[in-house]
Amino acid sequence: GAVVSQHPSWVICKSGTSVKIECRSLDFQATTMFWYRQFPKQSLMLMATSNEGSKATYEQGVEKDKFLINHASLTLSTLTVTSAHPEDSSFYICSAQRESYEQYFGPGTRLTVT
């Protein structure tokens, strides 16, 4: 149990376009999902907390109008990178929280903006 999927696994887009990344909990319901960004050889940086049915909570320094998060159901959260630029290129990982504490991570999405 506790399987989290993420789609797509990698995407290449042109500067100025938008990209949507999906995060799904496959075998459990997750009232809370999290979105992280990870640069090469670095730790995970929390971008935002996504709660089902309510607005996401963004970490300081993360532009909410650029990184749109929607948590429409207990098994799906989406992250849309709007007007992407090369500096947005990164590894984006979601996690879903099960029960009281445990977070399980998706496989990540490698975004390259050209």
Separation CA 41–CA 7 (nearest Å): 22
Q: What share of the chain is helix, strand, coil (3-state, %, to 5)?
A: 5, 55, 45
CB-based contact 34:104 (threshold 8 Å): no
Of the ranges 12-20, 61-69, 72-80, 93-101, which one interacts with other proteins (CB under 8 A)?
Answer: 93-101
Kindly tell me which residue out of 7, 11, 13, 32 binds other proteins, with binding defined by CB under 8 A. 32
Does 65 contact other proteins by CB under 8 A? no
Q: Does 34 bind other proteins (CB under 8 A)?
A: yes
Binding site for other proteins (CB under 8 A): 4, 31-32, 34, 42-44, 46, 49, 51, 93, 97, 99-108
